[in-house]
Structure 1
Amino acid sequence: MLYRVIQKFGLDVLQWNEVDDSHSSTVYQCTLLHGENVYLKIPFTKLKFQRELSAYEILQGSVPIPYLINYWSGDEECPGAFLISALKGKPLTAKTTPTVAYQVGTLHAKMHSVTPPTNGDFIGINNEFDNWSNFIERQFQSFAADVRDILDERLYEKAIEKYKKMKQQLPSPDGPSFVHMDFRPANIIVHDGSISGVIDFESARFGSTEIDFTKLYCDILSLDSSLYQAYKDGYSSIRPLINLEEVLPFYRFTDAFNSIGWCKRRGVEKNALFLEENIARLKKWVL
């Protein structure tokens, strides 16, 4: 498939490497014959291709993102592919500075300031805001059968009870906003102390901002209070920030639950460490 995509884009590739930390697409970093670095991205499904393509159209000029050089709509064998410019820098890490955390906050708020097109044409990205509670329910229930195969019955039943109780305590949703749905450090690129941009939009929706803070909080913000405060200051400089303490417990819990189901679907052995981490997280919430 890689060679077909290279041929479709007419590229002279000197060398290529598959990117490891990509979970919804196959991504290759390619060095072209004249020295330029680009990325080839092949989403797993046509829907993910459509979301990614729509996100580039919607976000262009609003937040820093890579330049979409070209795309191919695919055929019966391939759902589609993208040729994308390489952002300078490396993924965000917990060793970052409050200055960068502030920039992450402003970037995130600018993304959340993007609202659905007034003509109602969401070009591949659904607007889930008006039925947000049902959207969360569908997501949770879609993984429940997979999770049940992994957990013992007692832990599973307690998790279901915990979910129902916590969901009732959620505040009114905040939006409608463009939500990334996978806003994690690996998708935020930093170069020389500044944000280069954000990548990977195959899970994006229009919905409530409350779902979009969990992964960044778990991986970085929860580890350093100065980073957390800087992020909140940056976000609040663009738009009002919801009370994260009200929503983070629920979404951290459901993230652990849904991740267990994700591991079941993608392969328990292949994702054994990630599975163990999320079972341990889930147990802390319910036991």
Structure 2
Amino acid sequence: MLNEYTVLHPITKGFSNDQKFVVQDGGKKVIVRLFEGNQERREQEFRILRMLERLGANTLRAISIEEGKMVTSFIEGTDAEETIDNLTEEEQYAIGWEVSRDLLKIHSIKAEENTWYDYQLAKYEKYVKRYRELPMEIVGDEQVIRFIEERIPLMKERPSVLQHDDFHLSNLIIHNGKYAGAIDFGRFDWGDPVCDFIKLGMFSTEKSVPFAVGLIEGYHSGKPPQLFWELYALYLAMNVFSSAVWGHIQGNEEVMLRHIERFMRDHEGFTKSIPAWYKA
């Protein structure tokens, strides 16, 4: 499937089982992605990329798809996690604000049906059950559960839109100090747009608080409302349990526990909705 291209290098970052290669095709760089199964989902992802292109979002451009193979454009640059701390805090904030324009475009695509409340509640309950079966315990877990259960009703009547579902610095590209685009839509989902912000608290704020603040304030054209923070904290608290389970499955418990402990501290053990890193 790669015979028609000059392969420049494989893409090895990320947790996908797909094989990805940067290749030369007629004088331009493109990404060839090889996958097994999930053809229907990959075709849906391809259609989503086409929709985002029409909306003017800075994302990978869908070029072609066939059985087991997708070709997209290549965005020149480096992932933001590696390079953002080379920029000033003002530049990091400005990049966050600019990225928010693309996130708004992503969230402008509505789901065909809204099953968010039932879907998210079932997902949370499944992970809590699996967490209780693990040979580990997170200090303060019962307080996290109380915090969640008080706020679960907030999920009712929430909009259901396209979610990137892995929106953080590693999936954003910076080129020559400027934001170049968002990548890796392979985990796309449908649900509350606020849920797309939780990877900020999980990962991005460890590298750049100004970026996270810029993204949130750009998205809201200023300070976010209290409801945003209540929902953000609810979804982040739910991720305590799914992250613990995921870390155990991947054999990566220590790393994931460090992330969990850090964002739990940000919310004072989930006794507060607004994280310590956000100064209102």
Is the CA contact (8 Å cut-off) linking 1:68 and 1:84 kept in structure 2?
yes
2:101 to 106, 109, 119: 106
What SS does the aligned partner of 2:159 have? Answer: coil
* Structure 2 residue aligned with 1:24: 16
The match for 2:275 is none
**Contact 1:263/1:275 (<8 A) preserved:** yes
Q: What runs of 5+ residues in structure 1 fail to find an aligned partner? A: 74-79, 121-126
1:213 pairs with 2:197: yes
Q: Map 1:73-84 onto structure 2 (within 5 A).
A: 73=67, 80-84=68-72
Secondary structure, aligned partner of 1:178: strand
Distance 1:249 1:18, change over 3 A: same
In structure 2, which of residues 63, 68, 71 is the aligned counterpart of residue 69 of structure 1? 63
TM-score (norm 1): 0.73
Give SS of 1:105's match. helix
Aligned to 2:110: 115
> Contact conserved, 2:152 with 2:234, CA < 8 A, in 1?
no
Distance 1:13 1:104 in 2: 32
Trace 1:1-287 onto structure 2 (pairs within 5 A).
Answer: 5-7=1-3, 11-20=4-13, 22-32=14-24, 36-43=28-35, 45-46=37-38, 48-62=41-55, 63-73=57-67, 80-93=68-81, 94-95=84-85, 96=87, 97=91, 98-116=93-111, 120=112, 127=113, 130-152=114-136, 158=142, 161-162=145-146, 164-168=148-152, 170=154, 173-221=157-205, 226-237=210-221, 243-265=227-249, 267-268=250-251, 271-278=252-259, 280=261, 285=269
Find the counterpart in structure 2 of residue 76 from structure 1: none
1:214, distance to aligned residue in structure 2 (A): 0.8
Calculate the TM-score normalised by the size of structure 2. Answer: 0.75
The total of aligned residue pairs comes to: 258
Q: Tell me how far 1:221 sits from its aligned partner.
A: 4.7
**Cα pair 2:98 2:179 within 8 Å, conserved:** yes
After TM superposition, the structure 1 stretch with the greater mean CA deviation from structure 2, 223-232 or 174-183, is 223-232
With over 3 angstroms needed to count, the CA separation of the structure-2 counterparts of 1:160 and 1:272, relative to structure 1, is: closer
198-207 or 48-57, larger mean C-alpha shift? 48-57
CA distance in 1, matches of 2:123, 2:35: 20
Structure 2: which amino acid aligns with 1:52?
E
Q: Residue deviations 1:68-122, cap 9 Å, x none?
A: 222222xxxxxx2212221021122352522211101222122212224xxx5xx
* Structure-2 change in CA distance of 1:174 and 1:196 (3 Å): farther
Change (3 A) 1:53 1:166: farther
What is the CA-CA distance between 1:39 and the residue it aligns to? 2.0
Q: CA deviation at 1:160?
A: 7.6
SS in 2 for 1:58: helix
Instruction: Name the stretch that deviates more: 142-151 or 85-94.
Output: 142-151
Alpha-carbon spacing, 1:161–1:50, altered in 2? closer, same or farther (3 Å): same
2: CA distance, partners of 1:139 / 1:42: 29
RMSD: 3.5
Gap regions ≥5 residues in structure 2: 272-280
- Cα–Cα, structure 1 residues 233 and 276, in superposed 2: closer, same or farther, change >3 Å? closer
* Percent identity of equivalent pairs: 17
2:166 match: secondary structure = coil
Moved more, 199-208 or 161-170: 161-170
User: In structure 1, what is the Cα distance between the partners aligned to 2:228 and 2:170?
Assistant: 22
